[in-house]
Structure 1
Amino acid sequence: MSRQRRLLAREAAHLAPGASEEAALGQRVFVAGSGSTLTDADGNRYLDFAAGTLTQSIGHCHPEVVTALADQAGRLWNVHDSATADRAALCELLATLLPAELDTYAFFTTGAEVVEAALRVVAAVAAPGRNRVGALRHGFHGKTLGARMLVHWDIGHQSFAGNSILGYSPYCYRCPLGLRYPSCETRCADLVVRHIADKPQVSALIFEPVLGAAGVIVPPPGYWDKIARACRDSGVLLVADEVATGGGRTGAFLACSWLGIEPDLVLLAKGLASGFPFAVLAGRSQVLRGPEGAAAGSTASTFGGNPLGIAAALATLTVIDRDGLIARVPGLAAAMRAGLDDLHERHPMIGEVRGAGLLFGLEIVHDRDSRQPAPELAGQVYRAGLDLGLRTAMGGHILRLAPPFTTTADELDEGLRLLDRALSLVEAGGR
């Protein structure tokens, strides 16, 4: 029995079920990472085209992040939310990376925690009568109660609709209105305006600029123009969940900047600290510094902004900024798009390829005419890729690809070659 099998058997006696699909299907025990590669307990190596879980923007175990964490671990770990030596430096660095109007920050640990913090801010600053929030269908904001209520994510027989109003996301491949872009004239956006922006009881629209977990749903031109303008005109706060896209993933530090959206609050996490738990709530000073949203304890958290997280984030963002890594994203993305478009032509199980910078989604279907989702085929491609030495991200019938910004051209070519082989094996019935 391999070492991986022994370790998995040991933990299975005590570990609760409910792991991600990729962990449950993959059955791998990873023990080391360096740059774009991972190594498992049996010594097998993998190209990591999931970048952890979109966290390893500068690759696994970058030496400067390792040094920063090790040095900090020898000095100080936690003093609640008291100031520490590097916190001011991190604030100043964020101020150079973010749009100038997003000049005020609060620190947390996870994406879901920062979503909950944003919900508290929205509730605190909302004018009387503005007691509802908007969100988008197919959105994902975490697994906490507030995050689930945003998108009406029910558990068991319990309903968590809360006080949110859902608008249509720009899911062109599966348009719920049965229309086609551009002749549709972004009717989905018109309905978001009607049902959310134009409602006087709505205080904020909480949204992913590019919907990640839903399958990298990239908005067509015009979608956010209409919605953002209407929200601004009607006083509805724009709260951008950039947990997945923030930090340069789309080729700009914020996907909002890439799409021309000017949010009031932005939520950041995954790509900021090389996989160390760390999240940022960034916002306009008039929102975060006003008396309504600045009560004592409103941005405090037991582990939020701890010295280790600050060290990891400061080192990660310093490398991204100093080495110009975001500037590498468009070139890598173009090469990856070309390769994936070629795979789309040759493999009919790929219904559509969607991408925003170095974040791509492959919609796996039984056939392109019916567009029937094929989660079982997606799982087979995912497992075949692992067996060949390629790690992707999957959920349902979607395969996501999000390699580190430090990925080389040779690694990109190799990853696409392995994905091609995985798709061919599944099509031939080899999995």
Structure 2
Amino acid sequence: MTGPRQLDLLARESAHLAPGASEESALGRRVFVEGRGAVLTDLDGDQYIDFAAGTLTQSLGHCHPEVVAALTEQASKLWNVHDFATEGRAELCELLARLLPEELDTYAFFSTGAEVVEAALRAVQAVAEPGRNRVGALRHGFHGKTQGARMLVHWDIGNQAFAGNSVLGYSPYCYRCPLDLEYPSCGVRCATLVRRHIAEKPNVSALVFEPVLGAAGVIVPPPGYWEQISDACRENGVLLVADEVLTGGGRTGSFLASEQLGIEPDLVTLSKGTASGFPFAALAGRSSVLRHPAAGNAGSTASTYANNPLGIAAARATLEVVARDKLVDQVRELGAVMDERLAELKARFDVLGDVRGLGLLHGLEFVRDRESRAPAPDIAREVYLAALDLGLRTAIGGHVIRLAPPFTIDRALLDEGVTLLGKALERVTEASR
């Protein structure tokens, strides 16, 4: 339960703070004051294993000493000189060139995920051939809250509709197939339709997509989905823009989720865990796109906080540790443990309709019963709160709870976190009997 000191502070800020916080924050009502590794401490001294890793940002856990040292050193030297060159930026470029597929050899730096998605859209629009004035995206996708990012997925607010010029294709949501088919007998029909309506259309310039759809509940594509789509895009001149803001940097068990799924994108957006939660984003791309004369007009990759030395320092420190300590390998190993432990929970609790994931990114989909598959957001909320009271922080959104521990979590703490999740499920299901 939320302690008295936290309740007092929450009451103080509510007098001035605008509503609209995330669901997990509004429900959880916690005030965190310290983070060390995979453990958070609140204002009343209670501790929590952080299976949400900040907001899926803390790849190295909270306050990793090497990231703290890099930020502290840089903060004492230089904060912002617009987009002038710095030693750190050159070194980050060289580091990314070692970590990313060799064809992604050109970079631009920004401050947020939505900002880098907008930069990718500008690049696409700049190099698109005449007549290619539409952009493809996937249903259930999420690319940020700016207008351009919202327009991609037809996310309207109030009475304002901004569908823009995007064409939506079917995402590979096998558990709730919009075509009422079953994999694999479906022949991956959703991919066939994306190919037909987006990849093979002469007026489409690019397909913007999440390789694994994160905000939608960790939707992992089945074999055959991306093979069909990416080949058709390549054959028809449609650029592939992989939004790896959430997955990039090793979260799924390879540096890019695209690599695991056999996708060779033309542009990739990175943010979140690549700088341990410090505001930073990178656009990586083929030189044929990002060095195209039309894409390189003055100011096209500049903004007030883009290229700032602090963000670059945090990214360099984070990615150097990821590479040096072979943390992507560790993600695969711990991900296999998560797969096994979560499968056990699914077998025990009927409210878990589907459990899916890749590496250290998993989604638990809550249902009323497995036959109807009716979404159960109220049960998800109860489990989220019960887990929080037991000392486990997760990430909730609607009827799905996402799990994304830091790459650096040890096996014992990972097991303890899953055990606490099981206890939360027990508490909620027993109370409903």
TM-score category, normalised to shorter length: over 0.9
Matching of residue 5 in structure 1 with residue 7 in structure 2: yes
Matching of residue 247 in structure 1 with residue 249 in structure 2: yes
For 1:139 and 1:366, how far apart are their aligned partners in 2? Answer: 25
For 1:412 and 1:65, how far apart are their aligned partners in 2? Answer: 23
Q: Which residue of the other structure, out of 27, 30, 40, is the alignment partner of 1:28? A: 30
Give SS of 1:292's match: helix
* Counterpart residue number, 1:228: 230
* Counterpart residue number, 1:292: 294
For 2:200 and 2:320, how far apart are their aligned partners in 1? Answer: 41
For 1:297 and 1:305, how far apart are their aligned partners in 2? Answer: 12
Residues 25-424 of structure 1 mapped to structure 2, 5 A cutoff: 25-424=27-426
For 1:131 and 1:169, how far apart are their aligned partners in 2? Answer: 22
Letter in 2 for 1:409: R
Flag as ranges the 4+ runs of structure 1 deviating above 6 A.
none
Q: Which residue of the other structure, out of 15, 18, 29, is the alignment partner of 1:16? A: 18
For 1:430 and 1:371, how far apart are their aligned partners in 2? Answer: 18
For 1:213 and 1:14, how far apart are their aligned partners in 2? Answer: 29
For 2:79 and 2:33, how far apart are their aligned partners in 1? Answer: 24
Give SS of 1:260's match: coil
Give SS of 1:57's match: coil
Q: Alpha-carbon deviation of 1:160?
A: 1.3
For 1:165 and 1:225, how far apart are their aligned partners in 2? Answer: 20
Letter in 2 for 1:355: G
Give SS of 1:18's match: coil
Task: Give unmatched runs, 5+ long, in structure 2.
Answer: none
For 1:330 and 1:163, how far apart are their aligned partners in 2? Answer: 38
Give SS of 2:275's match: coil
Letter in 2 for 1:190: T
Q: Using structure 1 for the length normalisation, give the TM-score.
A: 0.99
Q: Alpha-carbon deviation of 1:77?
A: 0.4
Q: Alpha-carbon deviation of 1:268?
A: 0.3
For 2:366 and 2:111, how far apart are their aligned partners in 1? Answer: 33
Q: Alpha-carbon deviation of 1:85?
A: 1.9
For 1:258 and 1:304, how far apart are their aligned partners in 2? Answer: 29
Q: Alpha-carbon deviation of 1:430?
A: 7.4
Give SS of 1:427's match: helix
Q: Alpha-carbon deviation of 1:2?
A: 1.3
Give SS of 2:217's match: coil
- Render the CA deviation track for 1:239-258: whole Å, top value 9, x for unaligned: 00000000001110000001
Distance 1:305 1:430, change over 3 A: farther
Q: Alpha-carbon deviation of 1:315?
A: 0.3
Letter in 1 for 2:68: V
Q: Alpha-carbon deviation of 1:330?
A: 1.2
Give % identity: 72
Letter in 1 for 2:354: E
For 1:281 and 1:391, how far apart are their aligned partners in 2? Answer: 30
Letter in 1 for 2:374: Q
For 1:221 and 1:428, how far apart are their aligned partners in 2? Answer: 38
Letter in 1 for 2:198: I
Task: Give unmatched runs, 5+ long, in structure 1.
Answer: none
Q: Alpha-carbon deviation of 1:30?
A: 0.4
For 1:177 and 1:149, how far apart are their aligned partners in 2? Answer: 24
Q: Alpha-carbon deviation of 1:158?
A: 1.1
| Aligned residue pair count | 431
Letter in 2 for 1:318: E
For 1:67 and 1:49, how far apart are their aligned partners in 2? Answer: 25
Which segment drifts farther, 223-232 or 322-331?
A: 322-331
Letter in 2 for 1:419: L
Q: Using structure 2 for the length normalisation, give the TM-score.
A: 0.99
Give SS of 2:91's match: helix
- Give the RMSD, CA atoms, in angstroms: 0.9
For 1:306 and 1:135, how far apart are their aligned partners in 2? Answer: 30
Letter in 1 for 2:343: D
For 1:133 and 1:61, how far apart are their aligned partners in 2? Answer: 39
Letter in 2 for 1:265: L
